[in-house]
Amino acid sequence: MNNDINVFHHLGIISRDMDAAVKQYEQLGFVFTPLTIPRIPLRAGADPEPLGAGNRCAIFRNNYLEILGIVDATRWASITREQRGPFDLDEPLQRYEGLHVLHLGTNDLNLVRDRLQQRGLEPTDIRPFHRLVDTADGRRMMRAKTLSFPQGTNPEALMQIAQHETPEIVLQPRYMNHPNGAISITEVIVCVQDPDGVARKYGLYTDQAVQRRGALHIVEFGVSRIIVVNPSDLPEVLPRQVAPTVPFLAGFTVASDLEITERALEEREIDFRIHNGRMHVNPTDGYGAAVVFENADSSLIAAA
């Protein structure tokens, strides 16, 4: 893969009841890591500190899905929204519980930041992000670095661009054996009033042209894609979804072995339907987010 933006780093569900959200996704056949506590610097140049939020993650071959919630309300309340910056959960939760986090991934964040600056897109400085992760050899510190954009630039998501510094600590194979056959997050569906403008913005972030398929605006980068659509056309890609508000991260797609996925969902009595060759799980079973399964291509299956 190239060193520009080439994959989703991760997506995230924000919940007021993290245990309940994890339970719903376990029922869909996803396996989750133990709880970890993210740490970020609260001022420029400072060491990363815990925020009072925690997450559990479903790990895939090249990215992950996190479920986030507040685990220490006193600590969380002691930190201002300005200090939390793009990691603030309060504002998204005021809008809805569900899919909010959209992090694009790269192998060279410095290169990406230089390109964004040259395009006049105003990326922030690069900041560290840490959390202690259980491994087979004990707890080790996962390290990553991230950048974001000025407040208000991306109202549709908690959007950042990130680079793993210790991918082996996060993407542990022992957590990748999901009963539903999931291999990788491949797509996110963004519902906004101005799909043309938002898609062009993501095209600039990823340095890719926007493609059109009917009402859908599609940005493909590496092994991932973003689909941007307006509320009236959302059923074209998610037939049972109605946007409760806009902007809205309506759902995401996971590459899997669909035969395994079908068996897992039927065994768990999870309702799904087939649309355009893909399996769609009702948003009520995805904590407000539509969960779509598509057949993984041979390269993904071979590498899993």
Contact criterion met (CB below 8 Å) for 237 and 225: no
CA distances (Å), origin 73, targets 22, 42, 96: 19, 17, 19
Per-residue pLDDT of the chain (304 residues; tens, 9 = 90+): 577 999 999 999 999 999 999 999 999 999 999 999 999 999 888 999 999 999 999 999 999 999 999 999 999 999 999 999 999 999 999 999 999 999 999 999 999 999 999 999 999 999 999 999 999 999 999 999 999 999 999 999 999 999 999 999 999 999 999 999 999 999 999 999 999 999 999 999 999 999 999 999 999 999 999 999 999 999 999 997 899 999 999 999 999 999 999 999 999 999 999 999 999 999 999 999 999 999 997 444 444 3
CA distances (Å), origin 75, targets 43, 56, 80: 16, 19, 10
Q: What pLDDT was estimated at residue 44? A: 86
What span, in angstroms and rounded, lies between the C-alpha atoms of 287 and 304?
Answer: 27
* Whether residue 157 sits in one domain with residue 17: yes
Residue 22, domain CATH? 3.10.180.10
Block residue for tokens 């079908």: 262
What span, in angstroms and rounded, lies between the C-alpha atoms of 31 and 19?
Answer: 13
* Whether residue 206 sits in one domain with residue 113: no
* Whether residue 36 sits in one domain with residue 137: yes
Domain finish residue from 122, 143, 175: 175
What span, in angstroms and rounded, lies between the C-alpha atoms of 30 and 21?
Answer: 12
* Whether residue 281 sits in one domain with residue 203: yes
Concatenated DSSP letters of the chain: --SSEEEEEEEEEE-S-HHHHHHHHHHTT---PPPB-EEE-SSTTPPPEE-SEEEEEEE-SS-EEEEEEES-HHHHHTS-HHHHGGG--HHHHHH-SEEEEEEEEES-HHHHHHHHHHTT------EEEEEEEEETTEEEEEEEEEE--STTS-TTSEEEEEEESSHHHHS-GGG---TT-EEEEEEEEEE-S-HHHHHHHHHHHHT-PEEEETTEEEEEETTEEEEEE-GGGGGGTSTT---SSSSEEEEEEEEE-HHHHHHHHHHTT--EEEETTEEEE-GGGTTTSEEEEEEPPHHHHHH-
* Whether residue 152 sits in one domain with residue 40: yes
* Whether residue 167 sits in one domain with residue 20: yes
* Whether residue 234 sits in one domain with residue 125: no
Residue 78: how many CB atoms within 10 A of its CB? 11
243: CB partners within 8 A, 6+ apart: 191, 231, 234, 250
Buried b (16+ CB within 10 A) or exposed e, 168-182: ebbbbeebbebbbbb
* Whether residue 131 sits in one domain with residue 224: no
Q: What pLDDT was estimated at residue 302? A: 40
* Whether residue 257 sits in one domain with residue 171: no
Domain count, the chain: 2
Q: What pLDDT was estimated at residue 186? A: 98
Domain finish residue from 175, 207, 229: 175
Q: What pLDDT was estimated at residue 3? A: 79
Task: Give the bridge partners for 268, in sequence order.
Answer: none
* Whether residue 222 sits in one domain with residue 157: no
Domain finish residue from 148, 175, 202: 175
**Amino acid identity, residue 147?**
L
Q: Which domain holds residue 297?
A: 182-303
Question: Looking at the whole model, is its pTM more than 0.85?
Answer: yes
* Whether residue 136 sits in one domain with residue 21: yes
Sign of the dihedral through C-alpha 271, 273, 189, 246: negative
Q: What pLDDT was estimated at residue 303? A: 40
* Whether residue 255 sits in one domain with residue 118: no
